[in-house]
Structure formats: C-alpha cells, structure tokens
C-alpha cells in the first residue's frame, strides 16, 4: 500500500509519522512546495525507524507528483493558516486555489486514489476537492469529525477521571463553532454520559469542544497538529486495512437528514472503498435545528467560493 501526504507542515508531517510508526502502509510519500522541506521531514521519520522499530519507507519530494503515482490514499493538508487581518474570503480564495491545484495533480497521477481533505476551512475545501477531482463522494471526503470527537472525549475523560478508550461519541455538522453535539449518543463503557455528568458541566465541555481549535491557537500562537495529524492517519488506517470503522467525516449529503449538496460531518462506515455507507441517525427536533443552523453556515461559505469562481471565470 502506498499513501501520499501533501503538505509537510506540522499536520502533514505528524500524519506521515503516525502512518509510518504504525506501519499502516509500505510507503509514505510526503510532498511539499518548499524546496527540501518534505525530503528533510521524511528522512527524519525514516531515521527514527531503527529506534522505534518499523519498516514503512518514508520518502519526501518537492512538488514532484510523479513520485506519488498509484497512491491508494492521498491526504491533503496543504494551505495557509488564517493570519491577522486576513478576511474569511481571502483565506477561502487562497486555500481553494491551493487545494484545486493539488487535487488536479493527485488525480493525474493516482486516478483511483481515495482523497482525504484536512485543509481549512475544512467543509468548503472538501467541496473544492470534490469538484476538481470529479470523483464520487465516497472517494473524496474531509477529516474533522474524528478530531472534534477526540477533543470531546478527551475533555470528558478528564472531567470523569476515566480512560478516553472507554468513551464513544458522535458529533455532526460543520467543523468548529457550528458543530452539532449528540450527548444522546455519547457513552462511557456503554453507560449514557448523561447518567455520569450534570447537564451544565456537559454543556460546558461541548462548548469547549466547539472552540477547541481556537483554544490551542491562543495557547501556542498556531494551529494544532498532533491530534489532527493522528486523526487523518486513523482514517487512512481504516481504509487501508478495510476496518469498516464508524467515524464522523465531512461528506456531501445527498438527501440524508433532508439535506442535499452541502458538505457536513455525518457518521459513516469507512473501509477499503472509502465511505461504504452513510449512517442516518434519528435526530430529535433540537438536534435537527442545530444541524440546520450548521447547514446554513456551511452553505454560506460554499456560496462564497462559488461566487469567487464565477468572478474569476
């Protein structure tokens, strides 16, 4: 199995490192536009192999997509972080251009690859990659739900003083502030979380999760990378090993939950063909209202991208 990670920054390098350390693929190719950057990161990861004990080969290249040919899975982490004074539209325009260019190269050399998008703004970058690739939605989707649920589960484990291994949870909707928490589907060792924690404390944890990325930016002055990189690697593992894991991922909904043509996080079965099935939960009225709010927010950003594309046509 061959996996390519585009973007050798913190998230991409972490993803490649986890893929190698866990021996998820035979070869991991790291690509970056900065001369020597991916080569250095890949070499560093490869030199760690004798220490940790793994044999996945890591290779770095500068903007040479021919080296990525015939990849089974491609993870796209490319893009710029939002900088002070940069508007949302500026960020969308810049990163959409990057994701479009990368996707064109990916499809050219690996037409059968499954594409996982990590670039931000996540939902609309998944839309851009899907448009550019022309691939079915089952093969182009975004990583956000696993990261959001990981944060949620980590906060719950801390509050309850239990192992995060025993916490299962589902979140839906857009990535970030408009995500849709589903406490009804959150369990701790099979026990509904609502039996173990009060509503006020649970609501506070949900709110902390929604702004989880912002909390880290305030602390470090930059975006997170360990958890996002590992989350992307977990999705790759589910595909490469055909694990049929149930994960929340960003996908174009096509009638599920009464929504069409909008990219939102929803629970799916992830296996060798990419998304094997979209799982449709029976949401209550409050949950449906939150999902509709999230849908409206994501659609607004998608429309902004469409308008930019028309203006530049």
Question: What pLDDT does residue 87 have?
Answer: 67
Helical residues (DSSP H) of the chain, grouped into ranges: 10-21, 37-52, 88-109, 122-133, 145-160, 199-210, 212-220, 226-240, 285-312
- E strand or H helix at 221: none
Q: Which of 41, 175, 295, 297 is catalytic?
A: 175
More confident residue, 144 or 162: 162
How is the chain split into domains, by residue range?
A: 2-143, 145-304
Per-residue pLDDT of 228-245, as tens digits, reads: 999 999 999 999 999 999
Question: What pLDDT does residue 80 have?
Answer: 86
CATH architecture of 2-143: 3-Layer(aba) Sandwich (3.40)
Are 269 and 279 in contact, with CB atoms under 8 Å apart? yes
Give the residue-averaged pLDDT of 199-219.
93
Give the residue-averaged pLDDT of 253-261.
97
pLDDT band at 223 (very low <50, low <70, confident <90, very high): confident
Per-residue pLDDT of 6-25, as tens digits, reads: 999 999 999 999 999 999 99
Per-residue pLDDT of 90-124, as tens digits, reads: 788 899 999 999 999 999 999 999 999 999 999 99
Question: What pLDDT does residue 308 have?
Answer: 87
Give the residue-averaged pLDDT of 270-297.
97
Per-residue pLDDT of 39-81, as tens digits, reads: 999 999 999 999 999 999 999 999 999 999 999 999 999 998 7
User: Under DSSP, is residue 139 helix (H, G, I), strand (E, B) or coil?
Assistant: helix
Give the residue-averaged pLDDT of 294-310.
92
CATH architecture of 145-304: Alpha-Beta Complex (3.90)
Residue 225 pLDDT exceeds 70? yes
Question: What pLDDT does residue 83 have?
Answer: 67
pTM confidence score: 0.96
Biggest CA–CA distance in the chain, Å, is 55
Q: What is the DSSP letter of 114?
A: E
pLDDT band at 302 (very low <50, low <70, confident <90, very high): very high
Q: How far apart are CA 215 and CA 205, in angstroms?
A: 13
Question: What pLDDT does residue 313 have?
Answer: 65
Per-residue pLDDT of 21-50, as tens digits, reads: 999 999 999 999 999 999 999 999 999 999
Residues in the chain: 313
User: What are residue 260's DSSP bridge partners?
Assistant: 254
Per-residue pLDDT of 138-157, as tens digits, reads: 999 999 899 999 999 999 99
Question: What pLDDT does residue 175 have?
Answer: 87
Residue 178 pLDDT exceeds 90? no
Annotated binding site for NAD(+): 7-12, 32, 95, 118-120
Annotated binding site for substrate: 82, 88, 120, 151
Question: What pLDDT does residue 73 have?
Answer: 98
Q: Is residue 175 among the annotated active site residues? A: yes
pLDDT band at 217 (very low <50, low <70, confident <90, very high): confident
Q: What is the DSSP letter of 184?
A: G
Annotated binding site: 7-12, 32, 82, 88, 95, 118-120, 151
């Amino acid at each position: 199995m061959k996996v390519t990670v585009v973007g050798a920054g913190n998230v991409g390098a972490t993803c490649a490192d986890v893929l190698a350390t866990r021996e998820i693929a035979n070869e991991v190719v790291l690509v970056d536009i900065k001369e020597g950057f991916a080569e250095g990161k890949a070499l560093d990861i490869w030199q760690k192999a004798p220490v940790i004990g793994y044999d996945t080969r890591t290779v770095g290249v500068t903007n040479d997509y021919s080296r990525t040919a015939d990849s089974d899975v491609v993870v796209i982490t490319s893009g710029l972080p939002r900088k002070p004074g940069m508007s949302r539209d500026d960020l969308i325009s810049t990163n959409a251009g990057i994701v479009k260019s990368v996707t064109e190269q990916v499809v050219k050399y690996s037409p059968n690859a499954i594409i996982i998008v990590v670039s931000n703004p996540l939902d609309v970058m998944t839309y851009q990659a899907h448009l550019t690739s022309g691939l079915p939605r089952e093969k182009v989707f975004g990583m956000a739900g696993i990261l959001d649920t990981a944060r949620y589960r980590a906060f719950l484990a801390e509050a309850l003083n239990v192992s995060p291994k025993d916490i299962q949870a589902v979140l839906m909707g857009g990535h970030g502030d408009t995500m849709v928490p589903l406490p009804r589907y959150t369990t701790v060792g099979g026990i509904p979380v609502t039996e173990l924690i009060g509503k006020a404390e649970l609501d506070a944890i949900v709110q902390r999760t929604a702004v989880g990325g912002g909390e880290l930016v305030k602390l470090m002055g930059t975006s997170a990378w360990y958890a996002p990189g590992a989350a992307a690697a977990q999705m790759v593992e589910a595909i490469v090993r055909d694990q049929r894991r149930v994960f929340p991922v960003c996908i174009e909904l096509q009638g599920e939950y009464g929504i069409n043509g909008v990219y939102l996080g929803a629970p799916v079965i992830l296996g060798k063909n990419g998304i094997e099935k979209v799982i449709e939960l029976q949401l209550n009225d409050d949950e449906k209202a939150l999902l509709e709010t999230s849908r409206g927010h994501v659609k607004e950003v998608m429309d902004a991208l469409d308008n930019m594309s028309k203006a530049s046509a």
